[in-house]
């Protein structure tokens, strides 16, 4: 009976322990792999938001905090392209008034983000989050006595990494907090001008 117990239970116990050790080693590796995939998708989305915000500001002299306004701007808005005919370095052409500039309004969607598969409505949502919306703010801040438009768009790790091992997300957030960094991905900033940089750059 003792021999049967040893031969039956011991291999099963070894297998279970081995599996648990393997899983504990693989869990952080798989977490990092999934995190990189999710961050890559989210970074592209934040870059798209930045591209549209910069174009929006060139049109209206301010950023928007409303994602619907940004999407509507892409679908229905225009930006002005300045075309120059001739060269102002050519004094003869300038004297003969053959050098001039022309402003042409062009539809935003015909100019920006014209890659295959781009769906503008997707920029409103944090990828892999189950439908959580991007956090977006826009302000006019005083910088050295001058009004400066600022914006930020953010995807907290709690949403972006939803469904992954919770303790590893908590650890990541804690590391970021200790380092004084945002606990997620963010582009721009409403506290101080940063040239609309992303915190991954």
The answer, as to whether pTM is greater than 0.85, is no
- Check: CB of residue 184 under 8 Å from CB of residue 200: no
Using one digit for the tens of pLDDT, what is the confidence trace for 38-85? 999 999 999 999 999 999 999 999 999 999 999 999 999 998 877 767
The domain locations on the chain are 27-75+115-188
Integer angstrom CA distances of residue 101 from 58, 81, 82, 97, 107: 18, 10, 7, 11, 19
How far, in Å, CA of 42 to CA of 57, rounded?
Answer: 22
């Amino acid at each position: 009976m003792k021999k049967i117990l040893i031969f039956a239970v011991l291999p099963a116990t070894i297998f279970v322990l081995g599996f648990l050790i393997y899983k504990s080693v693989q869990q952080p590796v798989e977490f990092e792999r999934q995190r990189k995939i999710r961050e890559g998708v989210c970074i592209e989305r934040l870059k798209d938001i930045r591209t549209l915000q910069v174009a929006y500001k060139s049109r209206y002299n301010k950023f928007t905090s409303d994602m619907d306004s940004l999407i509507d701007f892409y679908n229905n808005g225009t930006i002005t392209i300045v075309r120059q005919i001739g060269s102002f370095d050519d004094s003869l052409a300038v004297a003969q008034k053959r050098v001039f500039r022309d402003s042409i309004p062009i539809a935003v969607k015909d100019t920006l983000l014209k890659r295959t598969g781009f769906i503008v409505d997707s920029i409103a949502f944090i990828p892999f989050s189950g439908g959580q919306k991007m956090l977006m703010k826009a302000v006019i801040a005083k910088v050295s006595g001058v009004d400066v438009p600022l914006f930020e768009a953010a995807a907290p790790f709690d949403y972006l990494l939803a469904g992954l091992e919770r303790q590893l997300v908590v650890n990541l957030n804690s590391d970021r907090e200790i380092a004084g960094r945002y606990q997620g991905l963010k582009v721009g900033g409403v506290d101080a001008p940063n040239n609309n940089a992303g915190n991954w750059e």
